[in-house]
Structure 1
Amino acid sequence: MPRFLVTYHGSNMPHDAESMAKARDAFMHWAGKTGSALVDPGAPIGASRTISSKGTKDGLADGPFNGWSVIEADDLNAAAKLLSDHPFIGRGGELQMNEPAAV
């Protein structure tokens, strides 16, 4: 079954303990409903460094990137259905899913 890399973009990550707990609980509820299709829950992004032809800088590349997960689904449509009620979307974020291309 194809695997999809899901990247999390654009939502402000919660920083206070109560908001972090609510976000974690919402994710765990979604993960429980998703079951074995959630191959790797991934993680939020911590410290970052960007490397390019211009050199190296601390921080993220252009555009917010907050975390990642890996899911399994029959195709892009099935993957989109699995992600349709993801709690990150409810916090104003976007999820991008990508099926790795054969090289």
Structure 2
Amino acid sequence: MQKFILAYHGGNTSMTPEEGQQHMQKWMAWMDGLGDAVVDRGLPVGQSITVSADGVMEDGGANPLSGITIIQAESQDAAIAMTKKSPHLDIGGTIELAPAMDMPM
């Protein structure tokens, strides 16, 4: 099985507490439904900054990161199928999917 990193971007950040709770319940149900495919549930992140050779952008750039998860799947297509079911997409967010490279670090 290959590992894939899901990088969550954007999404509705102006939810009421009740809407946030409903979204979290959907997200947890989706995550639980992935079963053994979940390698690391990951975590949400706060306001990101972008560091480059030209300096630091404190607004997180054009499409700021909002969280990560690591899954495993038989193929990229299988990982895409799992990712398409994420409730993060229902709140206007996007998910960047990338295969993890197996190399010594």
Structure 1 length-normalised TM: 0.85
Match of 2:56 in 1: 56
Shift of 1:27: 0.6
Identical counterparts, % of pairs:
28
Decide whether the 8 Å contact of 2:48 with 2:65 is kept in 1.
no
Give the C-alpha shift of residue 9 in structure 1: 2.0
Corresponding residue for residue 17 of structure 1? 17
- Greater share of strand residues, 1 or 2? 2
SS of alignment partner, residue 60 of structure 2: coil
CA distance in 1, matches of 2:14, 2:44: 11
How far residue 14 of structure 1 moved from its aligned partner, in angstroms, is: 4.5
Point out where structure 1 has 5 or more consecutive residues left out of the alignment: none
| Structure 1 partner of 2:70 | 70
- Report the number of matched residues: 103
Q: 2:81 & 2:87 partners in 1: Cα distance?
A: 13
Paired with 1:14 and 1:63, the residues of 2 have a C-alpha distance of 17
